[in-house]
């Protein structure tokens, strides 16, 4: 099974109030492929982006503005 790795950068991280009383904060994290004319993802899409939403504070705290992350995409069975 083949995988591909997409290098992304955290460009936005916003906290909002959640309607869930057990998890009152929701976080939206935006990842984008940085501008790089040599990146196949940038060439094909002119700006690939991923938006993650979570009510898990520990998961949200893993993301830092300006930091780069590898997103591994593997087919599931």
Residue listed under structure tokens 């460009």: 11
DSSP, residue by residue, 21-56: TTS-EEEEEEEEPPP-TT-HHHHHHSS-EEEEEES-
pTM, two decimals, is 0.76
pLDDT for the residue numbered 46: 64
- Look at the chain and report how many structural domains it folds into: 1
Residues of the domain holding 18: 4-73
User: Could you report the per-residue pLDDT of 13-70, keeping only the tens digit for each?
Assistant: 999 987 878 888 999 999 998 777 776 666 666 667 899 999 999 999 999 999 999 9
């Amino acid at each position: 099974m083949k995988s591909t790795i997409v290098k992304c950068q955290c460009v936005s991280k916003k906290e909002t109030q959640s309607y869930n009383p057990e998890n009152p904060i929701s976080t939206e994290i935006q990842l984008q492929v940085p501008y790089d004319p040599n990146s196949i993802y940038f060439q094909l899409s002119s700006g690939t982006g991923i938006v993650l939403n979570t009510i898990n504070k520990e998961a949200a705290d893993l993301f830092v503005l300006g930091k780069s992350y590898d997103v591994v995409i593997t087919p599931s069975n």
